[in-house]
Each structure stands twice: as C-alpha cells, then as structure tokens.
Amino acid sequence: MKNLLITSFLLIIFSFSAPLIIAKPIESLPDAAERNKPAPSASPALSSSPDGRIIKLSRGGAVLSISFSEYLTGVVAAEMPASFGIEALKAQAVASRTYALYNINHKKHAGFDLCADPACCSAYADHNSLREKWGPNFDAYYSKVKSAVESTDGIYLTWEGEPILAAFHSSSYGSTESSENVWSSALPYLRSVQSPETADKVTNLFTTVKVSLKDFRETLSKKYPSAEFGPDPAKWISSLMYSEGGRVSELVAGGVRLSGAELRQLFGLRSAAFTYRLEKDAVVFSVAGYGHGVGLSQYGANIMASKGSSYEQILKYYYSGVQISRLSDSAKP
C-alpha cells in the first residue's frame, strides 16, 4: 500500500495532468491552497532525471514551458547568494524543490504550475537577469548553482510521506520561529531552533528604522481608523509580547491590538524581532534578522556549511523530524 501511494504521488507530480491531494490544506498559511482533486489512475513513465520533466511557469504575463531543473536553478539563484557554500546551496535547492512540489500539489494556479512571484511561489531569475546581476562571475556562479540543483536531483523533504511546506528566510538572530507564531497553524516540522548568525558573519543582521511620530500616527490611523493617540507618545505603544523565537508576537499601538508581523509590514521592518525607543519626535525600531523567521535560515545554513555540515544535516536541523526522500527511489518496485 505504501509503495502504491508513493508511486501515485510521483506520477502525478511529473505529468501535471491533474493535482494530487497529498496533505490537508492549511487554510491560514499564506502559501497554502484549498483546491485539490483525486489522482488519476495512470501516468507516463518517469524520465531518467526526476527534475527533467517540463513544468509551466507564469512569469511577466507569459507562461513558459521549462524543465523543473531549469526552474529550480533560477529559483536558487534568485533566492540565495551564489557566493554561499555549496552545501548551503544544496540545502536551498532541496528546500525550493520541496516548496515547489508542495505548491504544485495544492494546485495554487489554474493553467500553469508555478509563478515567479516570491509572495506566492518563489522568485525566479533567468539567464539575462543573472548576467546583469553577476556580471563577470556569471559562468562560475551559474555553474555552481546548477551543480547544487543537479547533485540533489529529485531529493525533497517529507513529513509522513508528503512534501512539507518548506518555508525559508534570510536570517535569524538567536532562534528561528515556530510556524504558529507567524501564521496560525502549528506544523510539527516548523519548530523554533537556535540559529548561528552573528553580526560579524551576516551583513546588516541588525538594522534601525526611524519613524516620525507624525508618520507613525498617520500610518496606523489609515490602517486602523479606530486607533486613538493621546498627548503622551510614551503611551502609544504598549503590551509587547515576545515569542519563543524572540519576535514580537503582538502589541498594542494606538489602542489597537495587532501582531508584530502587521507592524513590521506597516513600517517596512526587516523582521518582527524588534525593540523600540522614543526620541523627541520619532519612534526608533531596532531590528534583528531578515524575514519571517520560519524554517530554513539561509545565512544560518551558510554558516553551518562553512563549519562542515552537509546539506542533509542543515535541512534536518532547520526542519524538525523530516525525512529526506528521493523521487527516483519511489519508482522502484
């Protein structure tokens, strides 16, 4: 029975003729979807390379037909610095492959498989944009990223036999975040773990954002018309609560209770791991890390790689309790 389920999962992913129900939709997560259909009973045989199958990618108003391998190379190149260690790039390749499989099987789009919007699927960079980005380093960097993808061909992460929601972010200070502290669903493999980033190893790990009192009041009032601000700015912000990962989970601003993630978005903070202080005419936020903080920390992965960790060790550290699976292995009888 187990072999039958896994084989069905494989055949559907690479034919893309119909979506497969592989996991219960997570309604509250920003990258989950709710539309699923039963798997068909038959599908063409697998190619020699699991990543060699063709997918449809929506980008710039057009739908491109490209190999899964080419797509993943463009994603890793767009999402992680190519200067990172090869084991970190491999970890990103596996996380990106897993995230793509998760999105494909939750059928986020009609008429194509994935998009190039990082707020929906993942960022994607083609050759032209990478030549412009990397300049004279293009050949070396592209070869390096492509090697990370090809050397992990078909490898993805599973929980109870299903591809996980392989969330990732740029950097964390101290610890990553559990999923329910950013979204509302607690996923067993997205748990808070310590992360090794330090200011001497991560550029701009700590940042400062200064918001005038006028802008602070107007921005909050526009978003929350019921907000009220008294004559004493020291009372405008109160009741900060922090998660186990060190990020603001919620606070009260202008009498309105909101999440740290909401305030981060309103004022362009790099993360919800912040403190604040009042100056004469401004609120000054001191921010640590970059991103939502859930799942793989890219800079943390690079630090681990520099100390000798393999991509498997990096992935199993940041994604608690997952299994590393291989699509090609599932085709065996």
Q: What are phi and psi of 305, to 5 degrees?
A: -65, -40
pLDDT for the residue numbered 184: 80
Lowest mean pLDDT among 273-287, 300-314, 317-331: 317-331
Residue 183: partners with Cβ closer than 8 Å, 6 or more residues away: 26, 28, 29, 30, 294
Q: How far is CA 121 from the centre of its chain?
A: 9
CA dist., res. 96 & res. 93, Å (int)? 5
Instruction: Indicate whether 157 and 232 sit together in one domain.
Output: no
Note whether 121 and 246 are same-domain residues. no
Three-state secondary-structure class, residue 170: coil
Residue 38's pLDDT is: 30
Per-residue confidence at 328, pLDDT binned at 50, 70, 90?
low
- What is the spatial distance between Cα 19 and Cα 17, in angstroms, rounded to a whole number? 7
210 and 136: one domain?
no
DSSP conformation class of 57: E
Q: What is the CA radius of gyration of the chain?
A: 21
Check pLDDT > 60 for residue 32.
no
| Residue 46 sits in the same domain as residue 148 | yes
Q: Which pLDDT band, with edges at 50, 70 and 90, does 48 fall under?
A: low
Place of tokens 């669903």: 185
Angle of helix 138-150 versus helix 127-134 axis, rounded to 10:
130
**Structure confidence at residue 107 as a pLDDT band (50, 70, 90):** confident
Written as six digits, the tokens of 40 are 């068909």
- According to DSSP, the residues that pair with 155 across neighbouring strands are 326
Is residue 311, in this structure, part of any structural domain at all?
no
Residues 6 or more apart whose CB falls under 8 angstroms from that of 289 comprise 169, 170, 171, 172, 173, 197, 205, 270, 271, 273
Residue 23 lies in a domain: yes
Specify the range with the lowest mean pLDDT, choosing from 70-84, 98-112, 118-132, 273-287.
98-112
Pairing of strands 168-169, 296-297: parallel
Q: For position 106, what pLDDT does the model report?
A: 86
Q: Is residue 156 part of a domain?
A: yes
Is the pLDDT confidence value at 17 over 70?
no
Give pLDDT, residue 190: 98
Do residues 123 and 262 both lie within one domain? Answer: no
Q: Given its phi and psi angles, is residue 254 left (phi above 0), alpha (psi -120 to 50 degrees) or beta? A: left
- As a whole number, mean pLDDT of residues 255-280 equals 96
Whether residues 217 and 268 fall in one domain:
yes
User: Which range marks the domain in which residue 263 is found?
Assistant: 206-288
What is the average per-residue pLDDT within 203-217? 97
DSSP 51: G
| Calpha distance 123→55 (Å, rounded) | 16
Residue 197: inside a domain, yes or no? no
Q: Are residues 112 and 261 in the same domain?
A: no
Burial of 65 per CB tally in 10 Å (0-12, 13-18, 19+): exposed
The mean pLDDT of 310-331, rounded to a whole number, is: 88
Strand partners, 285: 209, 276
- pLDDT at 33 > cutoff 60: no
Quote the percentage of the chain above a pLDDT of 70. 84
Task: Clarify whether residues 123 and 26 are in a common domain.
Answer: yes
- Give me the number of domains the chain comprises: 2
Residue 192 has pLDDT above 70, yes or no: yes
Residue 87 is assigned to a structural domain of this protein: yes
- Pick from 53, 51, 55: which is nearest to 65 by CA? 55
Above 90 in pLDDT, residue 332?
no
pLDDT surpasses 60 at 58: yes
In a shared domain, residues 57 and 160: yes
Q: Give the lowest-confidence range in 58-67, 206-215, 291-300.
A: 58-67
DSSP 247-304: SEEEEEETTEEEEHHHHHHHHT-S-S-EEEEE-SSEEEEEEESBS--BSEEHHHHHHH
* Same-domain pairing of 119 and 235: no
Q: Name the pLDDT band for 331 (thresholds 50, 70, 90).
A: very low
d(C-alpha 247, C-alpha 285), whole Å: 13
Are the CB atoms for 294 and 177 separated by under 8 Å?
yes
pLDDT of residue 10: 38
Q: Is residue 299 part of a domain?
A: no
User: Which carries the bigger pLDDT value, residue 110 or residue 297?
Assistant: 297
| Least trusted range by pLDDT, from 33-37, 57-61, 87-91 | 33-37
pLDDT at residue 16 above 80?
A: no
Instruction: Name the residue type at position 81.
Output: P
- 158 lies in the same domain as 210: no
DSSP letters of 166-217?
--EESB-SEE-B-GGGTSS---TT----EE---TTTSTTSEEEEEEEHHHHH
pLDDT tens profile 228-237 = 999 999 999 9
pLDDT digits (tens, 9 = 90+) for 132-172: 999 999 999 999 999 999 999 999 999 999 999 999 999 99
Residue 258 lies in a domain: yes
In order, the DSSP letters of 131-160 are: HHHHGGGHHHHHHHHHHHHHTTTTEEEEET
Question: What pLDDT does 22 receive?
Answer: 32
What mean pLDDT is reported for the chain? 86
The answer to whether residue 49 scores a pLDDT higher than 90 is no
307 belongs to a structural domain: no
Average pLDDT over residues 90-108: 94
State whether 17 and 95 are in the same domain.
Answer: yes
| DSSP H or E segment with residue 162 | strand 162-163
**pTM of structure:** 0.83
